[in-house]
């Protein structure tokens, strides 16, 4: 069976930055109406604009499928260990969980920063995906409209997910158009294979330990983010300083070249003026000599005339 076109449209829309979502959704509605598919147009029109946090998770699902696959695999292992109360496995898996969630959050923030968008807290969504298969499937497809908040023990309560089925594989046709945890948790049956069989004291202690660990992780993540921001600011400042110094060197070289050209032009002008002066002085000397000779001829001719007259 062919995949529902709504699945493809939703995947394309939720991969866009939030500010581009509504215009692209409206265009998709318009195309569906022009094609005569009113059902598809109505369904597309109901797709909700993603929050920045949800978009960052969607972006990660589209660009780093390897990390999302690791998240889903770890989630299956965690749920199995929780159901069977395997304490040793849970401790090892918890260490892997913290490392993987930190890596997922860092990668999503890095991808979002390339598009100049700040990303709010999104680690809770990855934590919920580890505890709930439906959230995990929605994260993998990359069509979240809102981030998911989860703080509890064992598997998370089912969020409100609207599913789009298409194609033979259910996972390929899931689109979490409206994700939230506003509904109360379902009552779970207590049994030997259920986390609910753990005593209240154990649950409370585990909850406190997890809360403390998560708080420590958030503080560490905030410190790392602050350090990264400081390094980036220092690198930016160093780059700007290097750019200014390079510009100053270029300006100094330009001014030096202009001074050299001006000096060369002045020397050429001085040489031409001296040559012209020398030629003028030579002409003046020659003229003075001609005047002297002419005067002598005049005097000689005058004496000859006077002699004849006498």
Mean pLDDT by 10 residues, the chain (310 residues): 75 87 93 92 91 86 87 83 71 82 85 76 82 81 80 44 41 40 33 41 68 77 77 80 84 86 85 83 88 90 86
The CA distance from 182 to 160, in Å, is 8
Q: What is the pLDDT of residues 226-243, one digit of tens each?
A: 777 778 778 777 888 888
Domain final residue, candidates 169, 198, 227: 198
> Are residues 186 and 219 located together in one domain of the fold?
no
The CA distance from 57 to 139, in Å, is 7
Q: What is the DSSP letter of 177?
A: S
Please indicate, yes or no, if residue 140 is contained in any of the structural domains: yes
The CA distance from 299 to 260, in Å, is 58
Please indicate, yes or no, if residue 296 is contained in any of the structural domains: no
Q: Which of 142, 143, 157 minimizes the C-alpha distance to 187?
A: 157
Domain final residue, candidates 164, 198, 232: 198
Please indicate, yes or no, if residue 43 is contained in any of the structural domains: yes
> Are residues 111 and 239 located together in one domain of the fold?
no
Q: What is the pLDDT of residues 104-158, one digit of tens each?
A: 888 888 887 877 777 777 888 888 888 777 888 888 888 888 888 764 444 444 4
> Are residues 158 and 228 located together in one domain of the fold?
no
pTM of the model: 0.46
Give the range of the structural domain holding residue 31, as residue numbers without chain letter.
5-198
The CA distance from 15 to 61, in Å, is 9
Please indicate, yes or no, if residue 62 is contained in any of the structural domains: yes
């Amino acid at each position: 069976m062919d995949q529902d076109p709504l699945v493809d449209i939703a995947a394309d829309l939720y991969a866009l930055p939030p500010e581009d979502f509504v215009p692209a959704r409206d265009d998709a509605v318009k195309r569906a109406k022009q094609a005569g598919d009113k059902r598809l147009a109505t369904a597309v029109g109901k797709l909700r604009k993603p929050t920045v946090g949800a978009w960052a998770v969607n972006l990660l699902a589209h660009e780093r499928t390897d990390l999302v696959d690791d998240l889903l695999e770890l989630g299956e292992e965690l749920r199995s260990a929780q159901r069977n109360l395997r304490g040793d496995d849970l401790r090892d898996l918890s260490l892997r969980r913290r490392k993987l969630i930190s890596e997922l959050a860092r990668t999503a923030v890095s991808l979002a920063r390339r598009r100049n968008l700040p990303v709010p807290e999104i680690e809770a969504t990855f934590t919920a995906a580890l505890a709930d298969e439906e959230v995990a499937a929605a994260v993998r497809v990359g069509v979240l409209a809102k981030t998911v908040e989860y703080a509890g023990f064992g598997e998370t309560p089912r969020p409100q997910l609207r599913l789009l089925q298409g194609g033979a594989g259910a996972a390929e046709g899931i689109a979490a158009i409206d994700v939230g945890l506003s509904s109360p948790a379902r009552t779970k049956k207590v049994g030997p294979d259920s986390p609910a069989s753990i005593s209240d004291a154990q649950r409370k202690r585990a909850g406190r330990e997890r809360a403390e660990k998560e708080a420590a992780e958030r503080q560490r993540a905030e410190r790392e983010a602050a350090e990264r921001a400081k390094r980036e600011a220092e690198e930016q400042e160093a780059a700007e300083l290097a750019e200014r110094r390079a510009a100053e060197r270029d300006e100094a070289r330009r001014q030096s070249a202009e001074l050299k050209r001006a000096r060369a032009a002045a020397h050429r002008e001085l040489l031409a003026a001296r040559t012209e002066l020398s030629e003028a002085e030579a002409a003046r000397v020659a003229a003075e000599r001609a005047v002297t000779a002419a005067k002598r001829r005049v005097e000689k001719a005058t004496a000859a005339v006077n002699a004849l007259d006498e």
